[in-house]
Amino acid sequence: MYKFFMISLFLLIFPLFSFAIRKLYTIDLTDELCKIWIEIKEEKDFVSIKTCGRNEGKGKVFYEVFVEITKSGKSGKSSSKQFNNIFLNPGEEKCFSQSKLNLFSKDKYNIVATLYKNGNLIKEKGFQKDGF
């Protein structure tokens, strides 16, 4: 009876978790002293975008990250721009901002992330997804 209950519970709950997060992507903006990334999580009907960083050096670091998000589809076109000042102490890791983008099944979205240090461009990378 116990085995039957556990198997039934597993079969009931597992599908709920397996569809919650569809895919996870990252945009890597790592510099020599600091690991900086944009985390992109596709969920049931939206995408969650988070900017995070970890200082792997011995001194404080300061970066600027600019993230531009655009989407197009059934509901039309939209865009969002975010700018983050990233201050990290040695060994510190934290996330700085998060945004959500509502999507329909055939929507396309594009994310471009740009990393600056002292006003100088360090890296620029993008991610594009056609069809959610």
Residue 99, domain CATH: 2.60.40.2420
Any domain includes 7: no
Domain-located, residue 114: yes
In a domain, 8, yes or no: no
pLDDT tens digits for 31-47?
888 999 999 999 888 89
User: What average pLDDT is seen over the chain?
Assistant: 85
Mean pLDDT of 18-39: 82
The strands making up 21-28's β-sheet, listed across from edge to edge, are 21-28, 34-43, 46-55, 93-102
- pTM of the shown model: 0.76
pLDDT, position 17: 47
Total domains, the chain: 1
Structural domain of 58? 21-130
Hey, CA dihedral for 55, 56, 61, 63, is it positive or negative? negative
Taking the CA atoms of residue 80, residue 110, residue 127 and residue 15 in that order, the dihedral angle to the nearest 10 degrees is 100
Q: Please check whether residue 47 lies inside any domain of the structure.
A: yes
Is 12 a member of any domain?
A: no
42 domain residue, yes or no: yes
Instruction: Give the bridge partners for 51, in sequence order.
Output: 38, 97
Q: Is residue 110 part of a domain?
A: yes
Indicate whether 15 pLDDT > 70: no
Percent of the chain with pLDDT over 90: 55
Domain membership of residue 122 (yes or no) is yes
Handedness of CA 31, 34, 35, 40 (dihedral sign): negative
Could you give the CA distance from residue 101 to residue 23 in angstroms, rounded to a whole number?
Answer: 14
